[in-house]
Amino acid sequence: MNIEQFQQHLKEEMQIELTDYQLQQFETYYKMLVEWNEKINLTAITEKHEVYLKHFYDSLTAAKYFSFTKEQSIKLCDVGAGAGFPSIPLKIAFPNLDITIVDSLNKRIIFLNELADALALDNVHFYHDRAEIFGQNKDHREKYDVVTARAVARMSVLSEFCIPLVKVGGAFVALKGANGEEELNEAKKAISSLGGKVKKVYNFSLPVEDSERTIIVIDKFKSTPKKYPRKPGVPTKKPL
């Protein structure tokens, strides 16, 4: 996907029209991603056309199925964002977002801080922490309008990482590959136990290469029991 295709598909598929400044931000993002990737492992995808499709465009597909365009600031937490996906592309496209990223690897947090400075992003916050610990932190637990995660863990595990951070009335948006619905079937008990319910599942293909994607939107309808998330490592070893 070249830059012209990136612009065109965003406009046609998601009604996102990027300014020249926003396009320059994506260019800077790409350059820094490749530069830092030589020092720390951020991504296996480094070819420009693939980064624009599989990282930038893929991250922004969430906006087709969940509205980030409210005039007031939306508090978004991205769990295990790695090199900033999907939250940094969303922040570039929707400057009204107030972004918090939590990641367990400090090297990635250092990169994200440098990236945010280079892109002149405001209202971005980065935390080096385990999701299980972060979800029990009273300053963050049930404080976010929307929580996102992309390619972090299976839905049964991911739900325990993310749903405790969503405020009642908010949403958890999971960006998944072709096996999203299969994972969801395994996770329904966990989602219910954590205070969530599935609102909608969207299946679609990325343009250009037609690879399958799934976006799962889960509404938070009641408070998460205090025992969740469990201690670090437990959700992965013993999914709900």
Task: Answer yes or no: is 42 within a domain.
Answer: no
DSSP state at residue 19: -
**pLDDT at residue 96 above 90?**
yes
Task: Answer yes or no: is 182 within a domain.
Answer: yes
Task: Answer yes or no: is 192 within a domain.
Answer: yes
Query: Given the DSSP bridges, would you call strands 144-150 and 166-176 parallel, antiparallel or unpaired?
Result: parallel
The pLDDT mean for the chain works out to 95
Largest Cα separation within the chain, whole Å, is 48
Q: 């799962």: which residue's tokens?
A: 216
Rounded to an integer, what distance in angstroms lies between the CA atom of residue 140 and that of residue 130?
A: 13
Q: How many domains does the chain have?
A: 1
Task: Answer yes or no: is 75 within a domain.
Answer: yes
* pLDDT tens-digit readout, 152-185: 789 999 999 999 999 999 999 999 998 999 999 9
Which CATH number does the domain housing residue 214 bear?
A: 3.40.50.150
The reply to whether 177 sits in an annotated binding site is: no
Q: In terms of residue numbers, what domain contains 191?
A: 62-237
* pLDDT tens-digit readout, 189-207: 999 999 999 999 999 999 9
- What percentage of the chain exceeds 70 in pLDDT? 99
The pTM of this model reads 0.95
* pLDDT tens-digit readout, 10-62: 999 999 999 999 999 999 999 999 999 999 989 899 999 999 999 999 999 99
pLDDT: is 50 or 71 the higher one? 50
What are the distances in angstroms from CA 88 to CA 75, 94, 99, 108, 133?
Answer: 13, 10, 8, 13, 23
Task: Answer yes or no: is 33 within a domain.
Answer: no
**pLDDT at residue 70 above 70?**
no
Upstream peptide bond of 164 is cis (omega within 30 degrees of 0): no
The reply to whether 149 sits in an annotated binding site is: no
Task: Taking the CA atoms of 12, 182, 178 and 191 in sequence, report the sign of the dihedral they define.
Answer: positive
Rounded to an integer, what distance in angstroms lies between the CA atom of residue 104 and that of residue 127?
A: 8
pLDDT of residue 71: 65
Rounded to an integer, what distance in angstroms lies between the CA atom of residue 77 and that of residue 65?
A: 17
The reply to whether 80 sits in an annotated binding site is: yes
Task: Answer yes or no: is 166 within a domain.
Answer: yes
Task: Answer yes or no: is 213 within a domain.
Answer: yes
Query: Given the DSSP bridges, would you call strands 166-176 and 97-103 parallel, antiparallel or unpaired?
Result: unpaired
For the beta carbon of residue 16, count every other beta carbon within 10 angstroms.
Answer: 18
Task: Answer yes or no: is 68 within a domain.
Answer: yes
Mean pLDDT of 133-139: 97
